[in-house]
A = this chain, B = another copy of it.
């Protein structure tokens, strides 16, 4: 039985933009593991209640239920040792943890200011109220206010990418000479932006953009072919 992944979807079933789900989809493709995705919406908590989770990714592998993209990557390496590793070894995994938290605490907020209203607009009608209410409560302001002054946010993102740019000036992947889960963590953030918004967040032709392009084309262009809003 193929692995099943509950994958956040928008108004259309094939519109998939969750950064954490993209990590897992890239990880499964990296390891050459067949999987199917099930479109899931924020308000369908009951469908994944058995996992004890209120959000995706939730992955089912036979009778195992997994959640949390980092834990799923660990599970995949342990369970499917034939495929290429996502974490080449324990030391590389430890050294990747900082990058994971940088992505979640720094990069996601920087991107959010550029795409949050677009994320909302692409959602299924039944999710829109939930999304707006929960996010505005968390942020203490409206979605629209967060996204005001786009030019400033683009410039702030450009500066915030400095350590990523310097790393990718020096080596082709965050994992080194070939991609590892480190790459998919950061790529997930950019794919969230790309699949949520028609506008480009990477405005410079730099090593970050070239690296994203390599990842978009990987695994038969799985990420490049993903649905995104029309410009």
Contact = CB atoms under 8 A, between A and B. Distances in A.
Given A101-B162, A162-B105, A163-B102, A91 B88 contact: yes
B106 A174 contact: no
A208 to B, nearest CB: 12
A96 to B, nearest CB: 5
Contacts of A105: 162-163, 166
A92 B171 CA distance: 13
Contacts of A215: none
Among the interface residues A91, A96, A162, A180, which one has the most CB atoms of the partner chain B within 10 A?
A91
A90 interface: yes
A224 interface: no
Contact of A164 (B94, B98, B164, B176): B98
A97 B183 CA distance: 13
A91 B176 contact: yes
Interface size bracket, A side: 20 to 34
A164 to B, nearest CB: 7
Dominant secondary structure at the A interface:
helix
Contact of A95 (B99, B164, B166, B177): B99
Given A106-B163, A162-B105, A175 B91 contact: yes
A126 to B, nearest CB: 33
A93 B94 CA distance: 11
A89 interface: yes
A53 interface: no
Interface in A63-105: 88-99, 101-102, 104-105
A3 B225 CA distance: 55
Interface in A84-133: 88-99, 101-102, 104-106
Q: What 5 pairs across the A-B complex have the smallest Cβ distances?
A: A94-B176, A95-B95, A88-B91, A101-B163, A91-B92
Interface of A: 88-99, 101-102, 104-106, 162-164, 166-167, 170-171, 173-177, 180, 182
6 contacts: A89-B89, A89-B92, A94-B177, A95-B174, A97-B171, A106-B162
